């Protein structure tokens, strides 16, 4: 049973009032001098204990809490709206708008909703899901659930310490396979960063077999579709690629624009390296593959 944001916040702040219990005892009760000194001395210890309990138990029990103004996103997402699912996932993963959760819970719920939106063909969700899964601390279990590096315990029936390491390796492989699948989905719809990511994966042999021709094709596509920066005065997106379904804040937009420039610079350096090592015949094959892709 999921509690409403108002109820969860009431429980949380009601519990936090326990922090003031010793102070209230000093003010309201007839306490002798030395007991009062002892209470005042132990108050910081009491506060730390209550705080650790809140972090370790209460937050995990309550789970992520959306801000009151964003609760409509959850209703729309549960109704099957792909864009609401994507925006809800972003809220969880990036901890925007004051989401109350630890990092693991936020990523878990975010990836859940990214998957929902990506399954409906949402371009940004497919790319964001791939990016999140490629992070080093996020692992996919063989049951489709998510694990985190610090949450992977050793098997109780197997005392061999290396079991934990092997399980982490297996989970990371599954996560990268799912990320590759979603990069392909986004790249096929013209997402330039996803195309560049695929190019780099083929260039270095990450999750796929190393293939310079395919890498050249994807990297050149990514750079050919490089969007122009958003106009600072009009806010108009000047790119020729797929349009964003939900408009981010100005601050987030600036961060994403800077990250995009860095990515395209990396792609251009990678493509220059391929041009230096590939034969003329290989480059021509890459250009043919790119032309075939653009015709589809």
Task: List the structure tokens of 276.
Answer: 């230096």
Q: What is the pLDDT of residue 92?
A: 81
Q: Which of 239, 266, 274 is nearest to 253 (CA)?
A: 239
pLDDT of residue 156: 56
> Which CA distances in Å does 96 have to 220, 256, 257?
34, 15, 18
Task: Yes or no: say if 175 and 140 are a contact pair by the CB < 8 Å rule.
Answer: yes
Q: What is the pLDDT along the chain (296 residues), one digit of tens a residue?
A: 445 555 655 666 666 666 666 667 666 666 566 666 666 677 677 777 766 666 555 555 555 555 555 667 888 898 999 999 999 888 888 764 444 444 445 677 888 899 999 999 999 999 999 998 887 666 555 555 665 555 555 555 555 555 667 777 777 888 899 999 999 999 999 999 999 999 999 999 999 999 999 999 999 999 998 665 444 444 444 444 444 444 444 554 566 788 889 999 999 999 999 999 999 999 999 999 999 999 98
**Residue 142: other Cβ atoms inside 10 A:** 9
Which pLDDT score is estimated for 219? 97
Tell me how far apart the alpha carbons of residues 78 and 85 are, in angstroms, rounded to a whole number: 8
The rounded distance, in Å, linking the Cα atoms of 292 and 140 is 34
Q: In which residue ranges of the chain is CATH 1.25.40 found?
A: 66-184
What are the E-state strand segments in 36-180? 138-140, 146-148
Beta bridge partners of 146: 140
Question: What pLDDT score was predicted for residue 111?
Answer: 87
pLDDT value, residue 174 = 85
Query: Is the whole model's pTM more than 0.75, yes or no?
Result: no
Of the candidates 161, 162, 112, which has an alpha carbon nearest to the alpha carbon of residue 133?
Answer: 112
d(CA 215, CA 197): 9
In the three-class reduction of DSSP (H, G, I as helix; E, B as strand; rest coil), residue 47 is classed as: helix
Interhelix angle 212-224/192-204, rounded to 10 degrees, is 160
Beta strands in 81-210 (DSSP E): 138-140, 146-148
Q: What is the per-residue pLDDT for 242?
A: 45
Contact 234, 296 (CB under 8 A): no
- Report how far residue 167's alpha carbon sits from residue 188's, in angstroms, rounded to the nearest whole number: 32
Question: What was the pLDDT predicted at 116?
Answer: 94
Burial 155-173 (b: 16+ CB within 10 A, else e): eeeeeeeeeeeebeeebbe
Q: Model confidence over 17-41: pLDDT tens digits?
A: 666 666 676 666 665 666 666 666 7
At the second CATH level, the architecture of 66-184 is Alpha Horseshoe (1.25)
pLDDT at 188: 94
SS3 148: strand
């Amino acid at each position: 049973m999921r509690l409403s944001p108002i109820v969860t916040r009431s429980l949380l702040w009601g519990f936090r009032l326990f922090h003031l219990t010793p102070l209230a005892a000093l003010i309201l009760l007839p306490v002798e001098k030395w007991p009062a000194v002892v209470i005042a001395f132990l108050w910081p210890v009491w506060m730390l204990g209550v705080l650790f309990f809140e972090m370790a138990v209460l937050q995990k029990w309550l789970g992520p809490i959306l801000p009151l103004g964003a609760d409509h996103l959850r209703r729309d997402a549960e109704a099957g709206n792909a864009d609401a699912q994507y925006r809800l996932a972003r809220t969880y993963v990036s901890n925007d708008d004051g989401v109350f959760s630890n990092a693991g819970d936020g990523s878990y719920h975010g990836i859940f909703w990214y998957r929902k939106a990506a399954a409906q063909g949402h371009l940004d969700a497919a790319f964001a899901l791939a990016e999140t899964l490629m992070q080093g601390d996020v692992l996919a279990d063989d049951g489709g659930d998510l694990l985190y590096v610090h949450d992977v315990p050793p098997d109780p029936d197997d005392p061999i310490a290396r079991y934990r390491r092997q399980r982490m390796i297996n989970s990371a492989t599954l996560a990268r396979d799912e990320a590759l699948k979603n990069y392909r989905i986004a790249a096929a719809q013209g997402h330039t960063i996803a195309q560049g990511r695929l190019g780099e994966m083929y260039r270095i042999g990450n999750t796929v077999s190393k293939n310079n021709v395919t890498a050249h094709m994807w990297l050149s596509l990514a750079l050919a579709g490089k969007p122009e920066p958003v106009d600072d005065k009009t806010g108009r997106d000047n790119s020729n690629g797929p349009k964003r379904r939900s408009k981010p804040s100005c601050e987030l937009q600036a961060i994403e624009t800077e990250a995009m420039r860095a990515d395209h610079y990396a792609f251009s350096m990678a493509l220059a390296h391929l041009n230096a090592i590939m034969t003329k015949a290989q480059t021509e094959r890459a250009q043919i593959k790119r032309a075939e892709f653009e015709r589809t």
